[in-house]
Amino acid sequence: MKNTIRFNLIIIIFLFISGKSFAQFDQKLEELGKWMDGSFSSQEQSKSDSDFFDIRLQMKRIWADRTDAIWIYVEQATAEAQDKPYRQRIYKVTKVDDNLFQSEVFVMNEPLRFAGAYKDELLLGSLTPDSLINRTGCAVFLSYTEGKYSGGTESKDCSSDLRGAKYATSDVIITSNSIISWDKGYDENDKQVWGAKKGGYIFKRIE
């Protein structure tokens, strides 16, 4: 009888600890999604360093009813041409393990038809997850430590043909009020051919 009670107690403690760890993970995933959602600007950085442009980064969580991942619509545009984004993506953010998160990168056909969807989600009415194109090898892996999520792409698997590049890399740091993103392109000799040279773009939250 005592052994049975002891065994049941161990099971209850195990379930309690397991449930607590899952709850903590769910909280972190939601926190990451919340920190990524918003409007960001590199204006402050561009004013202090002319090597950086004034770029606006728009990130909007979409398909909130889906339970497979946190999905985020992304636009980047210069401050002077915010209605004509030069980059549009969909991020799929998921758990890899207890403290590692993956942000897969997807593109869309004819992306400019979705321009402005961060402020009008109805523009995405015709878009579905199965119509997206996965940029294989371009996923960013983020781990949480000391109040920030940081990481980047792995190896040289993110292909790019921009300005003679062979592959691209991304390094990212995400906090509650900022996103630092350093995208670089390299040729077949591992020489950087595009992207900032000094460091990443510092996007400060403006909304």
Reported as a single tens digit per residue, the pLDDT across 65-90 is 999 999 999 999 999 999 999 999 99
How much is the average pLDDT of 105-132? 93
Listed in order, strand segments (DSSP E) in the chain are 38-41, 55-62, 70-78, 87-97, 100-107, 133-134, 140-145, 148-152, 167-174, 178-186, 192-195, 201-205
Find all residues with CB under 8 Å of 159, minimum gap 6, and list them: 137, 166, 167, 168
Phi, then psi, of 157 in degrees rounded to 5? -90, -5
pLDDT of residue 16 exceeding 50: no
User: What average pLDDT is seen over the chain?
Assistant: 89
pLDDT tier at 3, thresholds 50, 70, 90: low
pLDDT of residue 115 exceeding 90: yes
